[in-house]
């Protein structure tokens, strides 16, 4: 624990350790990803994907190591103890900061298969990491406004097709498909602009989770509904690196996969679309209430 050091020094040290961890693991990832690209056969893909996940999991373990060194690690985690490493999970969480990703990877590391995130298309250009995410088959999504889609109707449904193709790849070996239903990080400005009906959350989007259930719903053994709360305030990424994250509360609720949603067509079945949107809305109402309770408990 390096709390005796000035925060900027801790931040520089954590940044260096993060960069070296990325550099080492990404170099291994990309080398084997080339083999997968040149030899796109299922038996080769299964072997290479296992190796790629192994390298990525070691990257996550490396991050947990420097986090323990630089963070106070004042964490309360409930519900993550009875999970199985060999299996498929559909995972959802509220989203407030880039720090969420490190929190999720830390609590689930080697407890469930590697988390595969839905990412914004622009993130493929992030140096080194963009290529690593591509090598690991993370789906890159384009976010178009309704006005853009009205002018370019051929782009409607492209994200859902990307999701479907990614999930077909995920079905080959145990995987945890991670989806931030809000689609973006929470801010007060976004909350106000959306006129969100929830106190602590943005409006959720059901399309991604519907496609995951369509493509591989019969593979998932559980739905993990995760709620992250930062009682001392949502940390910035630099504040996190400087060891200023403060307290973290994570609640993991293990739910059965709603089998009546498996194999349904979100785009062309209006009844299903309405039903899954209502299901997500009810999840969000419960999550919003839980966040309120956790914040109240932290102040008492």
Q: Which residues contact 108 (CB under 8 A, 6 or more apart)?
A: 80, 83, 91, 115, 176
Tallying the residues shown for the chain, one arrives at 300
pLDDT of residue 155: 57
Q: Which residues contact 286 (CB under 8 A, 6 or more apart)?
A: none
pLDDT of residue 171: 78
CA distance 291 to 93: 12
pLDDT of residue 261: 93
Closest CA to 262 of 214, 207, 208, 223: 214
Q: Helix, strand or coil for residue 213? A: helix
How many other β-carbons are positioned within 10 Å of the β-carbon of residue 60? 20
pLDDT of residue 160: 65
Residues 82/254, Cβ–Cβ less than 8 Å: yes
pLDDT of residue 276: 96
Task: Chunk the chain into consecutive blocks of 10 residues (it has 300) and report each block's average pLDDT, rounded to whole numbers.
Answer: 85 95 89 84 85 92 93 91 89 95 94 87 82 82 58 61 73 88 93 96 91 86 96 94 93 94 88 95 97 91
For the chain, list the domains and their CATH numbers.
74-299 (3.40.1130)
Residue 229's DSSP bridge partners are 249
Q: What is the pTM of this model?
A: 0.89
């Amino acid at each position: 624990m390096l709390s005796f050091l000035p925060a900027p020094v801790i931040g520089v040290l954590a940044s260096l350790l993060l960069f070296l961890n990325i550099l080492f693991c990404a170099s291994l990832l990309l080398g084997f990803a080339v083999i997968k690209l040149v030899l796109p056969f299922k038996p080769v893909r299964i072997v290479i994907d296992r190796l790629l996940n192994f390298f990525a999991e070691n990257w996550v373990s490396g991050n947990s190591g420097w986090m323990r060194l630089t963070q106070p690690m004042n964490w309360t985690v409930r519900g993550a103890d009875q999970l199985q490493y060999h299996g498929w999970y559909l995972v959802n969480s509220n989203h407030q900061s880039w720090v969420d990703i490190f929190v999720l990877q830390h609590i689930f590391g080697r407890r469930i298969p590697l988390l595969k995130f839905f990412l914004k298309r622009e993130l493929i250009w992030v140096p080194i990491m963009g290529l690593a995410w591509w090598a690991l088959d993370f789906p890159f999504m384009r976010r178009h406004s309704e006005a853009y889609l009205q002018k370019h109707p051929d782009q409607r449904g492209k994200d859902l097709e990307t999701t479907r193709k990614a999930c077909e790849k995920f079905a080959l070996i145990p995987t945890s498909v991670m989806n931030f239903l809000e689609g973006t990080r929470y801010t007060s400005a976004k909350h106000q602009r959306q006129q969100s009906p929830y106190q602590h959350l943005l409006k959720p989007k059901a399309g991604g989770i519907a496609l995951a259930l369509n493509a591989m719903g019969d593979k998932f053994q559980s739905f993990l509904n995760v709620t992250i709360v930062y009682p001392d305030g949502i940390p910035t990424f630099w504040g996190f690196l400087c060891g200023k994250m403060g307290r973290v509360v994570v609640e993991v609720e293990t739910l059965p996969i709603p089998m009546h949603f498996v194999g349904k067509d979100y785009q062309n079945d209006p009844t299903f679309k309405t039903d899954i949107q209502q299901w997500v809305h009810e999840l969000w109402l419960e999550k919003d209430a839980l966040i309120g309770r956790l914040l109240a408990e932290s102040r008492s």
